[in-house]
Amino acid sequence: MSIKRKPNLSATIALLPTWFVAVVVFIGTMAWSIRLSFTNSTLFPSSTYVGLAQYSKLFSSAKWLASLQNVLIFGVLYVAGCLLLGFLLAAALDRKIRFESAFRTIFLYPYAMSFVVTGLIWQWMLNPMLGIQASVRSLGWESFVLDWVVNRDMAIYALVLAGVWQGAGLVMVIALAGMRGIEAEQWKAARIDGIPVWRIYVSIILPQLGPALAAAGMLLAMGVIKTYDIVVAMTNGGPGNATEVPAKFIMDNLFGRQNLGLATAGATVLVLGVIIAVAPFRYAMHMRDKAKGAA
């Protein structure tokens, strides 16, 4: 229970700046943006309401639709790729490996670097004229093709590759910490029953890591919705619309094309997307906590 007997003034005052941020900055600016999305604002805010016109314009824009499709492909593959590779790396390191800490350091260092840096590194590696492709060709394999960043059909996978390279280490750290927390007894019991090691990881370890991996997946998914830097650094949305993403579409219309109404409509759709994605998860956690509290 709370320690307060009488309401404490200092505590209330200490939280005032945070109240200001929560109410004015977060709620206030969001309400302002949402309001703008119903107006015909272009360079400057306008107060002429046009109903859902900006939204219908948004969803008839080929670029926006492409960006939604791209972020979906990128998001699914990036999150799945990070989870899979991260889990495999953790499981491998869990097998009493020599030089474990060296391997761990190598797998995690990309996560310390920004998405801009990550994007630029991979742009360089995948440069068809001078990068990996040219190098392999000069070894004699003349028909070797690795032109992802300039190829319309493959550019999105180049982003996935760079993203997984950056993010898999995070999942590894979380999974490895979870594996180290599992009691030795379970291992002994499973080994006595003659269950092969890989089955133990899949059927016994993996389910116990569920909540931690779900949290990591959730975090990566939140990052996907914000995906902006890595695209700007690596492909700048191209070739064509092949790597256009919603966050970039909004930024371009907000500051480059001076298309406020359309940009805020896009941002509102993103927020709705987050709410739809997060709400069931939050609700499940809430119910679980409630059940715990009742028990």
Partner 1 sequence: MARLHPNGPKPAQITAGRIGLYVFLVVAALFFLLPLYTMVVTSLKSMDEIRLGQIFALPATLDFSAWATAWSGACMGTVCVGIRSGFWNSVAITLPSVALSVFIGAVNGYALSLWRPRGANLLFGLLMAGGLIPYQIFLYPMVRAMANIDLYNSLAGIILVHVIFGLPLVTLLFRNYFVSVPEELCKAARVDGAGFWRIFFEIMLPIAVPMVVVVSMLQFTGIWNDFLLGLVFAGRDNLPMTVQLNNIVNTTMGERTYNVNMAATILTAIVPLAIYFLSGRWFVRGIAAGAVKG
Phi, psi of 244 (to 5 degrees): -65, 135
Contact call for residue 27 and partner 1 (CB under 8 A): yes
Q: Which of residues 158-217 bind partner 1 (CB under 8 A)?
A: 165, 169-170, 173-174, 177, 191, 197, 212, 215-216
Q: Which is nearer to partner 1, 64 or 115 (CB)?
A: 115
To partner 1, the closest distance from the beta carbon of 288 in angstroms equals: 11
**How many whole angstroms separate alpha carbon 121 and alpha carbon 5?**
58
Query: Stretches 9-17, 59-67, 200-208, 237-245: which one binds partner 1 (CB under 8 A)?
Result: 9-17
Q: Which of residues 104-163 bind partner 1 (CB under 8 A)?
A: 105-117, 120-125, 129-132, 134-135, 137-138
To partner 1, the closest distance from the beta carbon of 156 in angstroms equals: 19
To partner 1, the closest distance from the beta carbon of 45 in angstroms equals: 8
212 CB-contact burial (10 Å; exposed 0-12 / middle 13-18 / buried 19+): middle
Contact call for residue 243 and partner 1 (CB under 8 A): no
Q: Which is nearer to partner 1, 66 or 263 (CB)?
A: 263
**How many whole angstroms separate alpha carbon 102 and alpha carbon 290?**
43
Annotate 18-48 with DSSP letters as a single string.
Answer: HHHIIIIIIIIHHHHHHHHTTB--SSS----
Contact call for residue 287 and partner 1 (CB under 8 A): no
**How many whole angstroms separate alpha carbon 193 and alpha carbon 19?**
57
Q: Which is nearer to partner 1, 66 or 261 (CB)?
A: 261
Contact call for residue 32 and partner 1 (CB under 8 A): yes
Other beta carbons within 10 angstroms of residue 150's beta carbon come to 16
Question: Whose CA is closest to 230, among 103, 104, 75?
Answer: 75
